[in-house]
Amino acid sequence: MSNAVEVRDILYRAGKAFEIRDLSLNVPTGSVYGFLGPNGSGKTTTIRLLLGLLRPARGRITVLGGDVPKDAPRVLARTGYVPESPHLYPMLTVEQLIRVHASFYPQWDGAWSRDLQRTFRLDGGTRFSSLSKGEKGKLMMLLALAQRPELLLLDEPTDGLDPVVRRDVLSALLDYVSQQNATVFISSHLIHELERICDWVGVMDRGHLVAELPMQSFKSGIKRLRVSNPPPRLGDTPFVILSREPSTGSAETWVVRGWQPPMTQYFEGVGAGLKEVVDLDLEEGFVELLNTFRQPQQ
């Protein structure tokens, strides 16, 4: 499997208060990669590094086969970007902004741009400053999609939008991905939204990548186990224990990562009983990963 984005051992410092250290990640070509993390975890900084807007102190960034920032002009010509905060000139109209944006991209699809404008119900004569937040979000997505990019970098693209607008924006995005086999790297704190659309997930916290795996593995591999008569010392386990807490009587509750049904044999071997296996949704698994990552630092 080829990767549209590869990051290797990146170090980036923003003053004395924050750094991204030893960051390595892989975004498979054609995937929708969800980049999760709390505010301040380094998601936006990572996207700016991928765009060449920031330069790392060390490490290597490869995007669409080009080294960033050295090959940034060639890479950006094939990349659509939706920033967290709109950055367009407020006095220009929707139609003027579309024309300006189109002039930078030889592959601009004017017919599809007009289709998206109708779908999103954007009045071409309205100034950007007069658009609602939802309309601004739709226009930003239109500008990113109509250039027919191979890669979309989306930083909280639906943050603050109402459910109807989010549906329209995500529907246009998924339609494009299915038609073009494009790659999407989408940062968001709306975990349930990413759960529906992503096939890969990366979890960021405090400048570190906590986990990176296929979405299905994330959802199916993190479980809450009810264990009776647990051994005082665990030894080697076939799964990763994220947390272990006392329950009623001699029972304990474990949250584990990497679970597979045949692993029930482990409990028989240590004289314990597995009473229940409970599925966790993406948000619960996300919280458990963060709690485990932070525990040694508390």
Average confidence (pLDDT) per 10 residues, the chain, 298 residues: 92 90 95 92 95 96 97 96 92 98 95 95 97 93 96 91 87 90 90 86 92 87 91 87 84 90 92 92 83 66
Dump the DSSP string for 207-259: TEEEEEEEHHHHHHHEEEEEEES--SS--S-SSEEEEEEE-STT-EEEEEES-
pLDDT at 295: 72
pLDDT at 165: 87
Please indicate whether the domains covering 3-206 and 217-297 agree at the CATH topology level.
no
CB neighbour class for 58 (10 Å; exposed up to 12, middle 13-18, buried from 19): exposed
What is the C-alpha separation between 118 and 255, in angstroms, rounded?
48
The topology (CATH level 3) of 3-206 is Rossmann fold (3.40.50)
Domain 217-297 fold is Alpha-Beta Plaits (3.30.70)
Determine the pLDDT at residue 298: 39
pTM for the predicted model, two decimal places: 0.88
Q: What is the pLDDT of residue 1?
A: 58
Structural domain boundaries of the chain?
A: 3-206, 217-297
**188, 27, 154, 193 alpha-carbon torsion, rounded to 10°:** -40
